[in-house]
Amino acid sequence: MTHRYPLHALATAAGVALATIAMPALAADVTITPPAGGGVVVNGPVTMPGVPGSAQQTANVVCMAAGGALGPCPSTYGATGPTGAIGATGATGPTGATGATGVTGPTGATGATGVTGPTGAGATGATGPTGATGAMGATGPTGTAGATGATGFIGATGSQGLTGPQGIPGPQGVQGPTGAQGIPGLAGATGTTGATGATGATGATGSAGFSVAIAGGGTGSQSRDATTRYYKLQGTSASTTTSTNNQNTIGVAGVLSNFTATTSSNLPGGTSSATVTVRNNNTDTSITCTIGAGADSCTAAGSVSFVAGDKINVSVSYGGSGGGGGTSRTFSWTGYYGNVPALPTIIN
């Protein structure tokens, strides 16, 4: 059952309540409690001056029904949705009044001159009266020079002037290149042969020079084993494998030449060979020759000089293989030693 209250009484009550709320000095709330099952109906405008200035509420919002009843808003009432699509453009409104004329803009650039039109076909008009004489024009440019006139007659020669002072000598010029050599002159005539000069004095007689034969060799045979053995140059001696043994000492300077080596019999065939060399102070000299397979001698070319005190001997290198038969041989040699007074003083 709905309770209805007289308008004046309810208005009075609401006015008292709202007046109470609007007065900040009175902090107590006004509570209207209807009977059980009843309600409060306000017939007429309701004004709440404090609502516009209050904070916005997003929860427990109260909605009003068409009949004026208040109650919680439906749950479907949420926050404001997104802005809808823009509606169609409305009809064009009426044209506004014409605005005032704007300021005149600057004059545009002059356009290109148009093509000259064709000459008209009308008759030539009568000649007009002669105009007044115009002002004198500016002087024109100078004309080109005329041709040069003919040369006049040459005047008489004047008297010679005084000789001026001599100028300072200029620097000496660079010397020119040497000229080409002239052609040789003809050979002069051969002079007469001069008189033969006097015979000079005879020089002192020199010491007599001569060559002395030397001979040497081994006292026993040498095996074909490629071992080098050493012997004296002058005289016979037993072989040795020490190069400093069996040496002769030169007493007087001289030259050894015509060196020939021989064997007791021809060397065996195959690859047999024997090299015989004269040595000086434990060094081989150029006096050397080789006896080949099947041969029994050889001769050395050239000569070698020696001085007093030199130690000389002969080496024999005998080797090879093949040929069959006995292979041992005895070696000997001969030669000449020149420009010595006597053989006993040459070799000791």
- Predicted local distance difference test score (pLDDT) of residue 103: 83
- Predicted local distance difference test score (pLDDT) of residue 181: 84
Residues of the chain with pLDDT under 50: 1-23, 340-346, 348
- Predicted local distance difference test score (pLDDT) of residue 205: 62
d(CA 348, CA 342) in angstroms, rounded, equals 12
From residue 298, how far is each of 112, 134, 226, 305 by CA, in Å? Answer: 127, 142, 18, 21
- HSE at residue 137, side-chain half, CA atoms within 13 A, is 3
- Predicted local distance difference test score (pLDDT) of residue 1: 44
d(CA 307, CA 337) in angstroms, rounded, equals 12
N- to C-terminal Cα separation, the chain: 182
- Predicted local distance difference test score (pLDDT) of residue 236: 96
- Its pTM stands at 0.41
pLDDT tens-place string over residues 53-108: 787 777 777 777 877 787 888 877 666 667 778 878 878 878 878 878 878 778 77
- Predicted local distance difference test score (pLDDT) of residue 19: 42
d(CA 105, CA 189) in angstroms, rounded, equals 125
253 Cβ partners below 8 Å, 6+ apart? 305, 306, 307, 308, 339
**Token match 């709202």: residue?**
18
Backbone angles phi, psi at 19, to 5 degrees: -65, -35
Q: Which residue pairs, CB below 8 angstroms and at least 24 apart, start in 176-182?
A: none
Beta bridge partners of 306: 254
Q: Which residue pairs, CB below 8 angstroms and at least 24 apart, start in 280-288?
A: 280/304, 280/306, 280/310, 280/311, 280/312, 281/310, 281/311, 281/312, 282/243, 282/244, 282/311, 284/315, 287/256, 287/259
From residue 123, how far is each of 15, 119, 120, 126 by CA, in Å? Answer: 111, 11, 9, 9
- Predicted local distance difference test score (pLDDT) of residue 16: 40
What are the tokens at 310?
A: 């030199």
d(CA 315, CA 274) in angstroms, rounded, equals 10
**In a 10 Å sphere around its CB, with 0-12 CB exposed, 13-18 middle and 19+ buried, how is residue 164 labelled?**
exposed
- Predicted local distance difference test score (pLDDT) of residue 341: 42
Please report which helix (H) or strand (E) contains residue 172, including its range.
Answer: none
d(CA 319, CA 59) in angstroms, rounded, equals 136
